[in-house]
Amino acid sequence: TCAINAGQLLCWGRNSAGQLGNTGANRLRPLRVGTTADWTMVVTGTNHTCGTRQGVPVSPNQVADEVHC
C-alpha cells in the first residue's frame, strides 16, 4: 500500500519483492520512500509499485513528468 502526503511518497505492507521502494522486511507503518516531496501519483500491484514525480524541464518550452517503477 502506498500514499502521497504533501508530495511525500509513503509505503507500507508486504515487501517480499522490494515493492515498497526499499530493501528489507514488511512494514506495518508508513515508511517514507526517498527524500523528494514532488510525487504526484502512485499505483501499486501485487509485486510492483510505480509513481510519477512532478515535471522536470526537458527543454526551454517543455516539461515532462518522471515515471519510476
- Cut 0.85: pTM above it: no
Residue 60, pLDDT > 90, answer no
Q: Counting beta carbons within 10 angstroms of the beta carbon of residue 54, is it exposed (0 to 12), middle (13 to 18) or buried (19 or more)?
A: middle
Task: Grade residue 37 by pLDDT with cuts at 50, 70 and 90.
Answer: very high
Separation between Cα atoms, residue 42 and residue 69, nearest integer Å:
10
Separation between Cα atoms, residue 24 and residue 46, nearest integer Å:
17
CA 11 centroid distance within chain? 8
**Angle CA 42–24–18, to nearest 5:** 40
The pLDDT assigned to 8 comes to 96
